[in-house]
């Protein structure tokens, strides 16, 4: 494997918001209108959701940032399940957060050291997670995708991440001195991802 060149991996930029958004007035109004409850009893919970959002809008570029994004995504998903299914703002926010999960995983995978087996495994996992996130954006939020990127770009991001994960598998099989047939199968999978 020492003779084979190790190319740098590609990562994708996060979508960041420059606006400070407070959704507590709208959320309190919604609680009062649809649940006939005093919205002020939920002030603490709404404030913690806003704090989580501010952390998720500009996440740290590490595994903790991914955890923050996923936690906020789950909170939004729960909120979406409680509303009357007419709020496109929540679905749009879900899409952007899922896109950022993919972008952050691609960044972590690209910056992982692939010089040892554990680094290769981690890079491969990050790229697989990124590909999954981009696939979710493409399939679940196809009606909103054009607001952040053309759907063809999102498909391209997914394919690049899949190819990079497969390249990590190929490098690992070459490093482990696997049989030529196994290395050939890994290479064939990589070629299929890239050209089909």
Residue 74 CB coordination number (10 Å): 11
* pTM, entire model: 0.87
- Is it the case that residue 196 has pLDDT exceeding 70? no
pLDDT tens by residue, 51-79 = 999 899 989 999 999 999 999 999 998 88
The residue behind tokens 């729960």 is 78
pLDDT tens by residue, 92-137 = 899 999 999 999 999 999 999 888 889 999 999 999 999 999 999 9
Q: For the domain made up of 59-195, give the CATH fold.
A: 1.25.40
pLDDT for the residue numbered 20: 75
Taking phi over 0 as left and psi of -120 to 50 as alpha, with beta for the rest, 149 belongs to beta
What is the number of alpha carbons within 13 Å of residue 56 lying toward its C-beta?
26
Phi, psi of 184 (to 5 degrees): -65, -40
Mean pLDDT taken over the chain: 86
Q: Give the model's confidence band at 86: pLDDT under 50 very low, under 70 low, under 90 confident, else very high.
A: low
The residue extents of the domains of the chain are 59-195
Per-residue tokens: 182: 């196994």
Q: Give CA separation, 46 vs 38, 76, 78, in Å.
A: 13, 12, 13
């Amino acid at each position: 494997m020492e003779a084979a060149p190790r190319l740098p991996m590609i990562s994708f930029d996060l979508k960041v918001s420059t606006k400070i958004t407070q959704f507590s007035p709208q959320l309190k109004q919604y609680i009062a209108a649809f649940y006939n409850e005093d919205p002020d009893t939920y002030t603490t919970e709404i404030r913690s959701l806003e704090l989580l959002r501010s952390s998720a809008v500009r996440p740290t570029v590490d595994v903790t940032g991914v955890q923050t994004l996923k936690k906020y995504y789950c909170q939004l998903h729960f909120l979406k399940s409680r509303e009357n299914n007419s709020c496109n703002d929540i679905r749009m926010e879900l899409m952007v957060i899922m896109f950022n999960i993919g972008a952050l995983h691609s960044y972590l995978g690209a910056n992982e050291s692939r010089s040892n087996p554990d680094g290769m495994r981690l890079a491969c996992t990050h790229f697989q997670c990124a590909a999954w996130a981009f696939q979710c954006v493409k399939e679940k939020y196809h009606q909103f995708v054009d607001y952040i990127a053309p759907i063809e770009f999102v498909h391209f991001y997914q394919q690049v991440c899949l190819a990079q994960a497969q390249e990590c598998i190929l490098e690992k099989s070459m490093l482990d001195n696997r049989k030529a047939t196994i290395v050939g199968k890994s290479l064939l999978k990589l070629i299929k991802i890239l050209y089909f």
